[in-house]
Structure formats: C-alpha cells, structure tokens
Amino acid sequence: MAATNMTVAEYRAENTARLVKLEERQISIFKTLQRIETHIEKINGQVQENKTNLAKIGTVGSIGILVVPVIVSIIMRLV
C-alpha cells in the first residue's frame, strides 16, 4: 500500500483503476498488432509477386541468351 492510512476500499478502488488502465492499454496493443499483421500479410503478398516476376525475368533472359546467338548465326549463314 502506498499510504499507511489507506482503507481497504480505497486500495481496491485504486487497484481497480490500475486494472482498467492496463486493460485499455492491452486492447490498444492488440489493435496495433492486428494492423501490423494485416500490413505484413500485404507485404508478404507483394514479395511473393516480386519473386515470381524475377523468376519470369530470369527464364526469359536465359532463353534469350541461348536463342539470340543461334538466330545471329543463322542470319550470318544466309548473308
């Protein structure tokens, strides 16, 4: 107890007020966590999309590296 002259009722009222504040903070924290989780899900979706796009670019690049020399050599033979 903070003061020696505090009655039991005052002590209970003080602790109840503290608990209410803590519950409000907890609710606020849970709401913030929910917003963060939603944002992370959105970002993870974008990361997955970027990975897919990079794989496509790599595939097209690899095919280009293999096909362009063949096309150039065919053109050179025709000329």
DSSP classification of residue 4: T
The reported pTM is 0.59
Burial class, 35, CB count within 10 angstroms (exposed 0-12 / middle 13-18 / buried 19+): exposed
| Predicted local confidence at residue 22, as pLDDT | 96
Query: How many domains does one find in the chain?
Result: 1
Per-run averaged pLDDT (10 residues), the chain, 79 residues: 74 95 96 97 94 94 92 91
Domain of 3 in residue numbering reads as: 1-79
Q: Side chain identity at 34, as an amino acid letter?
A: Q
- From residue 65, alpha-carbon distances to 70, 77, 79 in Å are 9, 19, 22
What gap in Å lies between CA 27 and CA 20, rounded to an integer?
Answer: 11
